[in-house]
Each structure stands twice: as C-alpha cells, then as structure tokens.
Amino acid sequence: MNRTVLLLATPAIAVIGLLCLAPLVLVVVWSFWTWDPSTYWIKPDLSFAAYEAIFEAGRWKVLLDSIIKALLTGLICLVIGYPAAYCIHFLAGNRSAFLLMGLFTIPFFTSYLIRSFSWRLVLGRNGMVNSTLMSTGLIDEPIEWLLFSDFAVIVGLVASYLPFVIFPLLLSMRKVEKSVLQASLDLGASFFQTLRTVLLPLTKAGCFAGFLFVFVMSLGSSTEVKMLGGAAASMISVMINDVMRVVNFPLAFAISSVVILFLLILLYVGNRHLKLAKLFEDFSW
C-alpha cells in the first residue's frame, strides 16, 4: 500500500521539486556567491558580502517597513474578512453564499494594473473621496495624503488580497457544526461570548492561514507600491528589482533568502502551534 501511494505521488513530488524547491535552493546557494565583473555573472567564491550589504544604504529599513506594511495588510484583511466569512457561511443561503463569493472574486477578472490604477481615481486630489468631502463642505481643500502614501499602498493591498483571507476562513468554518454554536447560545452565552470562546478557537488555523497568504503576497507586491505609493515608496519587491537592474545578483538573492527564511519560520510556528495541516485534512465538500 505504501509503495503504491509513493509510486503514484512520485510525478507530483518530482514536479514540485523541480519547479518549486530547486529554484529556492539555487537562490539560497547563489546568495553566497560573488559578482565577477569580467564575465558579468556570478562565480562560486563563497562570501557573506551580499548579506552584509543588506544592512547598508538603508536596505534593512525597507525590509522592516515592508514587513510592517504586510502585517498591517494581513490584520486589516483578517478584521474585514472574518465577519464576511461568517455571514457567507452561517447567515447566507446556498445561492446567496455563492453570489457573495462571486462578488469577492469578480475584481480578479480584470488586470491587476487596472485595479491598482482605479484607486488613483478614488483617492487622488480630484478623486471621488476628495470631491465628495468637498461637495458636502466637510473639507475646504483636497486631502493630500490619501494618494501617494503608505495609506494608499495599504488600501490597494487590502483591496487586492482580501479574498485570500476569506477562503481559508470559509474552509475552517465549514468544519464547525452550527449545533455547537447553537448549544453555546442555549447555555446562556451571548453572541460575542460564543464568538470569543467557541468560534474563534475552532477557526484559529483558518485565521492564521488567511493572514499568512495575505502577508506573503503583500511582501511580494510591487504594482500597488509603484502605482499608489509614489516615486519614493519602496518595498522588498521594488528593492529587489532595483538591485537586479544594476546586476547585483548576489544581493538580490540574499534579500530573497532572508524573506524565504522569515516565511519558513512563520509557517513552522503556525503549523506547530495551530496545526495548519489539519485545515486541509478530512474535508469533504
């Protein structure tokens, strides 16, 4: 039985190894190589110079700022997505739930460039928000910080990746029997007590999985930063692109390796304490 399962899984394991794991291993290995100006390529002279360069020219500040923005994006998506997932699963009927899930995915039918650019029309100096506030007399002049700021970047990231926190939450909530919540209410607990002591503990794996999805994709985003953050805005992906333009490949690989290590630590901690693997086990639609 085990040999049969292993034999059947071999093609999938080979594809994952070649297309996913092998490139990551090469990135880590190449991050310790050095740049050879004569060949315009890297050579296998082991060095920590690329990792030392991360702490030069303010690059560590960009790393820290990117992590903070990704954390805020993940938390905001979680705060918005949890009630949305609750309404879809527990309050809406089958047809309404299908419609609501479709509304969250419809924006992905368009280009991500168009989605990001549309926020410039909403948050800009003459955009929808400023025009509405000025027409109602709440402000006398446009609010400048709505666009080309960290606020605009986070708004764009939340709008782009909100569905990726809702779907893991739905997956975890489908494992919770409605009778469990009803029993808590019958025993005298309020709605918020039931939410805090029953539903949240049972869906914590889905919360972390959704947060991790958004966090990872926010770290790797560059479109929202360039379109909404202004010329001076930067995140990890933008910094890697800038480093690649000056063909400093070891530094780009070193930055990527640090991000990979950080994400692997998060994944290990989440799986160890929240049992993320069980979220995808013994589940039937």
Q: How far apart are the C-alpha atoms of 211 and 120, rounded to whole Å?
A: 26
Q: How far apart are the C-alpha atoms of 234 and 240, rounded to whole Å?
A: 10
Cα atoms in the Cβ-side hemisphere of radius 13 Å centred on 18:
6
Coil, helix or strand for 36?
A: strand
Q: Is 9 within a domain? A: no
| Burial (CB count <10 Å: 0-12, 13-18, 19+), residue 147 | buried
Q: Is 13 within a domain? A: no
Mean pLDDT, rounded, for 115-144: 88
What percent of the chain has a predicted confidence (pLDDT) above 70?
96
Residue range 8-25, pLDDT digits in tens = 888 888 998 898 889 989
Q: Is 3 within a domain? A: no
pLDDT for the residue 234: 82
Question: 90-104, 113-127, 268-282: which range is least confident on average?
Answer: 268-282
pLDDT for the residue 282: 53
Tell me how many domains the chain contains.
1
pLDDT for the residue 1: 54
Question: 76-80, 95-99, 109-113, 163-167: which range is least confident on average?
Answer: 109-113
pLDDT at 277 over 90: no
Q: Is 27 within a domain? A: no
Name the token pair of 248: 């400093």
- Confidence at 284, pLDDT banded by 50, 70, 90: very low
- For 90, which DSSP code? I
Q: Is 43 within a domain? A: no
Q: Is 201 within a domain? A: yes
| Burial (CB count <10 Å: 0-12, 13-18, 19+), residue 263 | middle
Q: Is 244 within a domain? A: yes
pLDDT for the residue 280: 62
C-alpha pair distances (Å), 68 with each of 61, 62, 150, 220: 10, 10, 11, 13
Looking up tokens 């560059």, which residue turns up?
222
C-alpha pair distances (Å), 126 with each of 99, 131, 134, 143, 285: 33, 6, 10, 10, 47
Q: Is 209 within a domain? A: yes
pLDDT for the residue 283: 47
Which CATH number fits the domain that encloses residue 71? 1.10.3720.10
pLDDT at 100 over 90: no
Question: 42-46, 95-99, 230-234: which range is least confident on average?
Answer: 230-234
Q: Which structural domain range is residue 197 located in?
A: 51-280
